[in-house]
Amino acid sequence: MKNPNAAAVKREAEEAWGKRGGDVTEGMPSEPADLVDAFYARFVRPLGNLVILFAQAEAAWLTLLVDLTGCTEKEAQKFLQKEAADVKQEILPLVRASAIEGYARQELCDSIDKFLCDRKRRNRLIHDEWYVSLFEPGGVAMTRGLPRKKDADVAYGDSTPEDVWNLAWRFREYAHVFSHASHMLGEQKSQ
């Protein structure tokens, strides 16, 4: 049974809201300000692009792994946890044995090799601690990766925003190469 007071409560709420004037977003800036310190502001856009383009490249990489190995996407995800050398040892022979020929095969092999190296760089940028080094005039944004394995060294990074833009661009290219290879493999299977 409906609550007879529900309509009255709703009407009162609407009237009270109307008296306040405006809506919930009124008075809010169209876009919130960056939350990071000024030292990091130049990295906000390139890192944002890197996050999105890496995710797209990794999705294309998983699709390619499925197409090359015949496994499920869930099974292909195991390659994301493996060391780069182990992935190359398993996947590159499959690429060479595939029906992908000539320049496309070589480009795919090169892209896989570079993707795995760049993925390591991307992980450093995303997962390491960001700090400001005051040894440079005006301070410079840097990263510091704490060792997760026994006897490992601390990894320091000093990427510039241009370095991050270039890395993001390369992930965009990897996504295209991997998608194209998957498309070629799909067409060959349908023949």
Tens digits of residue pLDDT in 161-181: 999 999 999 999 999 999 999
Closest CA to 70 of 89, 103, 88, 97: 97
Closest CA to 189 of 81, 98, 72, 78: 98
Closest CA to 165 of 48, 55, 58, 56: 48
Instruction: Band the pLDDT of 10: cuts 50, 70, 90.
Output: low
In this prediction, residues 178-189 reach a mean pLDDT of 90
pLDDT of residue 91: 95
pLDDT per residue as tens digits for the range 81-124: 999 999 999 999 999 999 888 889 999 999 999 999 999 999 99
Weakest-pLDDT range from 25-39, 43-57, 148-162: 25-39
Identity at 3, one-letter amino acid code: N
- Angle between helix 44-69 and 161-190 (nearest 10): 20
- What's the pTM value of the predicted model, to 2 decimals? 0.78
pLDDT per residue as tens digits for the range 135-165: 888 888 999 998 777 888 889 999 999 999 9
CB 152 within 8 A of CB 51: no
Closest CA to 121 of 60, 168, 173, 174: 168
d(CA 183, CA 114): 21
CB 144 within 8 A of CB 74: no
Query: Which residues, 6 or more positions from 145, have their beta carbon under 8 angstroms from its beta carbon?
Result: 124, 127, 128, 129, 154, 155, 156, 157
